Amino acid sequence: MFQIEFEFSLPQGYVDPQGNVHREGSMRLTTALDEIVAMRDPRVKADEAYLSIILLSRVITRLGTLRQVSPHVIESLFVSDLDYLQEFYRQINEEGRAHMDVVCPHCQASFEWEAVPLGG
């Protein structure tokens, strides 16, 4: 079965304006249209580094209880969470797998983690 959506858990989590922390989410594979739309975005044209913000906001299908993940949400993430999502994006889209070497933020233990298919 071909997997197009992968679950993740952020190291820190997005803190919304009410103080709620959103860590669990899912990301789908990127389509050509996602990349085309992102490249046409004026923020990307002004600063190419913004490309990952736009792409992540398009492919993250769920983050906690948020109904939509906007570029503003991605901009508000802690750097460790942004780094995690960029690596996760690369792993599932470029390497076709969702295995990552991770470090527990609490005990610093290292281990390999594999994303679980949605509905699987």
- The per-residue pLDDT string of the chain (120 residues; one tens digit each, 9 = 90 and over) reads 678 999 999 999 999 999 999 999 999 999 999 999 999 999 999 999 999 999 999 999 999 999 899 999 999 999 999 999 999 999 999 876 555 566 677 787 776 655 544 444
Burial of residue 6 (number of CB atoms within 10 Å: 0-12, 13-18, 19+): buried
3-state SS, residue 107: coil
pLDDT at res. 88: 96
- Cα–Cα distance for residue pair 77/89, rounded to 1 Å: 15
Are 5 and 28 in contact by the 8 Å Cβ rule? The answer is: yes
pTM score, whole prediction: 0.78
Give alpha helix (H) positions in 10-118.
32-40, 42-46, 51-59, 71-75, 79-90
